[in-house]
C-alpha cells in the first residue's frame, strides 16, 4: 500500500481565496483524521470520520472550515475564505480505531498571504 496520500504538498494562496486539501487514506482503514500543526499550537485534531461519517468536529476552528468524506477512499478539507492565520501544515491520518496507531500522510504546507 502507498500509505496515506495528500495533495497538494504545498499551497500558496492569497487571503480570501478558497483552499481545498485532499486525502486518500489507507485502504481498509475505517477512521480518517485531519490535523493542523503550527509552532504556536502544536498538533491539533480538527475532525475525524468513521466509515465516512463525521464523528467529532469539535476541533474545527470556525465555520470557514469544512470537511467531507464522500467515500471510503477520499476526503477533503476546505477553507473558505482563507486567512493568513490559517497558514500551517495540515495532516491527514488514517487508522482502524480512533485511539490506536495512526498512519500519517506527508502533509500539506499551506501559506496564506
Collapse the DSSP code of 15 into the 3-class scheme (helix H, G, I; strand E, B; otherwise coil) and give the result: coil
How far apart are CB 81 and another protein at their closest, in Å? 27
Which residue, 1 or 101, is less far from another protein as judged by CB? Answer: 101
Which residue, 81 or 111, is less far from another protein as judged by CB? Answer: 111
Which residue, 47 or 79, is less far from another protein as judged by CB? Answer: 47
How far apart are CB 103 and another protein at their closest, in Å? 7
How far apart are CB 83 and another protein at their closest, in Å? 22
Residues near another protein, by CB under 8 A:
4, 33, 35, 42-43, 45, 48, 55-56, 91, 93, 98-107
Q: What is the DSSP string of 38-100?
A: ETTTEEEEEEEEETTEEEE-TT--STTEEEEEEETTEEEEEESS--GGG-EEEEEEEESSSSS
Report whether 93 contacts 24 (CB < 8 A): no
How far apart are CB 94 and another protein at their closest, in Å? 11
Question: In terms of Cα–Cα distance, which of 32, 29, 110 is closest to 76?
Answer: 32
Amino acid at each position: 500500500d502507498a500509505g496515506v496520500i495528500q495533495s497538494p504538498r504545498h499551497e500558496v494562496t492569497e487571503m480570501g481565496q478558497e483552499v481545498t486539501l485532499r486525502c486518500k487514506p489507507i485502504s481498509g482503514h475505517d477512521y480518517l483524521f485531519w490535523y493542523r500543526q503550527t509552532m504556536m499550537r502544536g498538533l491539533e485534531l480538527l475532525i475525524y470520520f468513521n466509515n465516512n461519517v463525521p464523528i467529532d468536529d469539535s476541533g474545527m476552528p470556525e465555520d470557514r472550515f469544512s470537511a467531507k468524506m464522500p467515500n471510503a477512499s477520499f476526503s477533503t478539507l476546505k477553507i473558505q475564505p482563507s486567512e493568513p492565520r490559517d497558514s500551517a501544515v495540515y495532516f491527514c491520518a488514517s487508522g482502524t480505531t480512533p485511539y490506536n496507531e495512526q498512519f500519517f500522510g506527508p502533509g500539506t504546507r499551506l501559506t496564506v498571504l
